[in-house]
Amino acid sequence: MCKNFWWGQVGDENRMALISWDSMSKPKQEGGLGFRNFSCFNRALLAKQGWRLIQYPESLAAQVLKAKYYPRSSFWEATGGHQPSFTWRSLLKGRELLKEGCYWRVGNGTRIKIWKDKWLPKSHNHLVHSTPRDLPAEANVSALIDHVNRAWRVQTIRQIFSHAQAEEIISIPLSNTDLQDELMWGCSKDGSFNVKSATSLARSIDVIKRLKHKASCSSESDGRWTKLWKASATPRAKNLCWRACRDALPTCVNLYKRGIEIDVICPICGNDYETLTHILLDCDFARDFWRKSPFRLCTSNRRLCEFGAWCHDMLSVLDEDQSGLLVTLIWGLWSLRNKWVFEKKRENVEISLGILLTVGVAMLLQWSHKKGSARGRGQGL
């Protein structure tokens, strides 16, 4: 339905006005479950329109908008302007999401601002972490490139940036020809935009916002476990999650504490003690898992250290379906760890996630079916 509203022209004010941004963003109590998800989907569609403006600057819509709102800059840098139309404000909303999910692939560096844009391939958020020095704050990446020899100005870079980031910059390959910088969508493999991953990014931004909001005005709830037991997941997954929250799973460290002579270092990464928090949040494998999961979580800069506290915090801002997904993923991550430890099988994270989501849903359906038929026979569960 919303698609029909949307696939029209960018400049078509009436059509776009059918989706009121504010009404989509209403909290759950006011609008029901669908709205929040719908709002994420809507933002993803707006981001898609923004992506098209960037990819096809020659299109009629792009030219009309440029003439009106950003005659001397790009869509990427454009501001709200004077009395912006609903269409334009909506596109700027979409651009916010694009800015979260996009990063630049360096060509000649003329379109990328060193300290403002995302362009480092490996660093967290793709941003430069140091404050501007030696070059103006608005300087472009172009200033770091020796355009005659088509090479990085290594000495300047080492002077300005931390050792790690300098090495990261120098390792970015430069083209032999004068290529334009290219905007990449960081949530897909090939760097091209798609609505599905944008919706999931919007959702994870919402979750983080709610977590932050809750952190600023929270009080410890009495029904600590209620959210877990209400989650739409199988009892098996919920039980595993409950044991994980109470640190009651046989990790190497827990076995050692019980007097079993065992190596306590993580058998997957070898970088730390194998505690539950390490396995489920801090291990390289776990970080990759959560980053690629539908929640797109970055577990390395979380607020709460221990797994149990983290899990409760997450559950407190998720609805039943989302909680079910979280619980199923935790169960899956533990199973993947066991496969590694007992069968020496290291699974591919993306494939595992795909299987997990399918298997998780199938198990849940099977369980609900069983529960339904047991009730039907008057036995109850």
Structure tokens at 177: 């020809």
Nearest to 102 by CA among 85, 79, 127: 127
CB atoms under 10 Å from CB of 339, counted, come to 14
Q: How far is CA 64 from the centre of its chain?
A: 33
Minimum CB distance to Zn ion, residue 74 (Å): 43
Q: Which amino acid, one-letter code, is at 105? A: R
Minimum CB distance to Zn ion, residue 336 (Å): 12
CB atoms under 10 Å from CB of 158, counted, come to 15
Total residue length of the chain: 381
CA dist 64 and 231 (Å) reads: 48
CA dist 144 and 157 (Å) reads: 7
Minimum CB distance to Zn ion, residue 284 (Å): 6
Minimum CB distance to Zn ion, residue 338 (Å): 14
CA dist 373 and 65 (Å) reads: 58
Minimum CB distance to Zn ion, residue 301 (Å): 18
CA dist 123 and 340 (Å) reads: 28
Instruction: Provide the Cα torsion 252, 285, 203, 86; round to 10°.
Output: 150
Dihedral sign from CA coordinates of 202, 94, 118, 57? positive
Nearest to 317 by CA among 36, 77, 119: 36
Minimum CB distance to Zn ion, residue 259 (Å): 23
Which residues share a beta bridge with 102? 185
Cβ-contact 145, 174 below 8 angstroms: yes
Cβ-contact 314, 308 below 8 angstroms: no
- The label of the residue with tokens 């700027």 reads 92
Minimum CB distance to Zn ion, residue 274 (Å): 7
Q: Which of 91, 336 has the CB closer to Zn ion?
A: 336
- The label of the residue with tokens 């037991």 reads 229
Q: Which of 255, 269 has the CB closer to Zn ion?
A: 269
Q: Which of 141, 268 has the CB closer to Zn ion?
A: 268
Q: Which of 203, 337 has the CB closer to Zn ion?
A: 337
Q: Which of 160, 283 has the CB closer to Zn ion?
A: 283
Q: Which of 174, 276 has the CB closer to Zn ion?
A: 276
Burial of 66 (0-12, 13-18, 19+ CB in 10 A): middle
Minimum CB distance to Zn ion, residue 352 (Å): 16
Minimum CB distance to Zn ion, residue 183 (Å): 34
Q: Which of 98, 266 has the CB closer to Zn ion?
A: 266
Nearest to 282 by CA among 295, 266, 294: 266
Residues that bind Zn ion (CB under 5 A): 266, 268-269, 283
Minimum CB distance to Zn ion, residue 346 (Å): 12
Q: Which of 91, 281 has the CB closer to Zn ion?
A: 281
